[in-house]
């Protein structure tokens, strides 16, 4: 569990850093999506925020 938490923190920091020029609503929508996925299904090697390459290529209609 500690490893997943550390990965989540690193990914969240990267997403926030890379998305600095994006509108606030898009960032918060992506952050909410990541948070919901983490709580409902967790992350693994096949499903994680990096699979979208951050908010850049994320489809807002995608559900967990």
Domain boundaries, the chain: 2-57
What are all long-range contacts of 30-36, with beta carbons under 8 Å and residues at least 24 apart? 30/54, 30/55, 30/58, 33/58, 33/60, 33/62, 33/64, 36/64
What's the pTM? 0.46
Q: How far apart are CA 28 and CA 58, in angstroms?
A: 13
In this prediction, residue 15 carries a pLDDT of: 66
In this prediction, residue 10 carries a pLDDT of: 73
14-64 pLDDT per residue, tens = 666 655 555 556 667 888 888 888 888 888 877 777 776 777 777 778 776
């Amino acid at each position: 569990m500690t490893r997943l938490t550390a990965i989540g923190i690193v990914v969240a920091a990267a997403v926030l850093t890379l998305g600095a020029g994006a509108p606030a609503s898009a960032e918060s929508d992506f952050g909410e999506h990541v948070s919901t996925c983490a709580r409902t299904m967790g992350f693994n090697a096949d499903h994680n925020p990096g699979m979208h390459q951050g908010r850049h290529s994320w489809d807002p209609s995608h559900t967990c």
